[in-house]
């Protein structure tokens, strides 16, 4: 994430993520699933503006009126958690501009929560280290901690145990976001845990080596078949992307976003242009050209 401080307050750009690999190992006693995943931050951002407020409350405004701005919002919860953790009595006014689609497998809410922890740590001059903020983030959601280890990380447990991975070269993508989202809980309920999970070692080596072709060969998401059964739009766009000849294609997270991994920015531009004819059939789907990002 990118943090900028000004006289008025603090601005934070919160990136989306894609999963290059996602395997499910088992169902845990606490109801979650044990998984391994390789996540990568990409250049599609929400923007959050943090400014001091005269009392010790949190005020949240959002550009998307369909999104709750009350205590159930992850941004609101992150602010309250940090205030309680540090015993801070300062108030904050937060404005959130949403660009990352919701319920799309891109972790926009988790990224916003991480941005709130980082932004308020800066605004309130709390002096917490990234590792401390990541621990707090794990209390808010499985993906939150990842955003303190961008651009790439290998995540285990339910996703909250994060090991940074070296990124050998920038990676380019075209994202297709259907208008319908998917419930993560519903996708996991329909999942059959494999008897012999994949280990992901090949794709980790390929990412660190900067071997884009090898990354494409080893893309994997155990949740994709279940998501395709729940949402035909996922299968529709995945098949369209396969026909366009990119390095690789995959669904991100629990869906519904699918992406093409591209050899370079020129290939990403070509694929995005060719998608225009398909979008006539699915006009409300959104297409983004992105690159790996901090």
Kindly state the tokens that stand for 132.
């401390």
46 is catalytic: no
Give the active site residue among 46, 98, 112, 143.
143
- Sign of the Cα pseudo-torsion (165, 110, 275, 273, in order): negative
3-state secondary structure of 82: helix
52 is catalytic: no
Give the active site residue among 17, 98, 112, 172.
17
Residues annotated as catalytic (active site), given as ranges: 17, 143
């Amino acid at each position: 994430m990118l943090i900028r401080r000004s006289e008025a307050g603090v601005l934070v750009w919160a990136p989306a993520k894609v999963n290059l690999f996602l395997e499910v190992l088992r169902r845990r006693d606490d109801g979650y699933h044990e998984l391994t995943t390789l996540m990568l931050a990409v250049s599609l951002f929400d923007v959050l503006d943090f400014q001091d407020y005269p009392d010790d409350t949190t005020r949240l405004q959002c550009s998307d009126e369909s999104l709750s701005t009350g205590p159930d919002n992850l941004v609101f919860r992150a602010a309250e958690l940090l205030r309680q953790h540090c015993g801070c009595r300062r108030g904050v006014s937060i404005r959130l501009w949403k660009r990352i689609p919701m319920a799309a497998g891109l972790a926009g809410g988790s990224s916003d929560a991480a941005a709130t922890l980082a932004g308020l740590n800066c605004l309130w001059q709390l002096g917490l280290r990234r590792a401390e903020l990541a621990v707090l983030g794990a209390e808010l959601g499985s993906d939150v901690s990842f955003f303190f280890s961008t651009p790439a990380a290998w995540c285990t447990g339910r996703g909250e145990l994060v090991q940074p991975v070296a990124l050998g070269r920038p990676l380019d993508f075209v994202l297709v976001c259907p208008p319908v989202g998917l419930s993560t809980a519903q996708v996991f309920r329909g999942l059959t845990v494999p008897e012999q999970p994949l280990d992901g070692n090949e794709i980790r080596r390929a990412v660190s080596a900067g071997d884009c072709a090898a990354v494409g060969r080893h893309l994997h998401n155990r949740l994709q078949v279940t998501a395709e059964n729940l949402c035909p739009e996922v299968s529709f766009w995945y098949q369209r992307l396969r026909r366009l000849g990119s390095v690789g294609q995959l669904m991100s997270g629990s869906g519904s976003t699918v992406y093409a991994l591209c050899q370079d920015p020129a290939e990403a531009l070509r694929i995005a242009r060719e998608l225009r004819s398909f979008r006539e059939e699915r006009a409300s789907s959104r297409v983004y050209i992105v690159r790996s990002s901090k």
